[in-house]
Amino acid sequence: MADRPPAVGAEIETVGAASFETRVLEARGPIAVEFMSYGCSHCRALEPVLREVAARLDGRERIARVNVAVDADLAATYGIRVTPTFVMFRDGGEVGRSEGPHPQVASLTTILTRPFVSGDGAAW
């Protein structure tokens, strides 16, 4: 298994099959889940960017991750075929999805928050 990159910015919660229902599906409010693998070079490169985005969101939205190498059944349940894939949930329901690498903080911030903004631009 590849080494994890050094921690920079906010922490990202790791969830798995045992905690997914309570930490994601039963969570109130928005949560973005990164389906990733430490063997994925794009996922490793994205780590510091994702931490920076989490720091910028400052708790308005949570970010979690699922390691598909460990929780393949969970990844299959959500139809994950490529890593990284971000699935955005709000109050237990999927509200958005984005597949593939997004190396820029600004573009990733937009992708992760877009499903959580109402028509008038106000965050849910």
Question: Of 36, 40, 49, 53, which is the active-site residue?
Answer: 40
Does the annotation count 43 as an active-site position?
yes
- Do β-strands 62-67 and 13-14 pair in parallel, antiparallel, or remain unpaired? parallel
Nearest-angstrom CA–CA distance, 48 and 116: 23
Say how far apart CA 72 and CA 63 lie, in whole Å: 19
**What value, to the nearest 5°, has the Cα angle with vertex 89 and ends 85 and 94?**
80
Give CA–CA dist 69/39, Å, rounded. 8
Task: Name the active-site residue from 12, 15, 43, 63.
Answer: 43
| C-alpha to C-alpha distance for 102 and 5, rounded to whole angstroms | 17
Query: Which residues are known catalytic residues?
Result: 40, 43
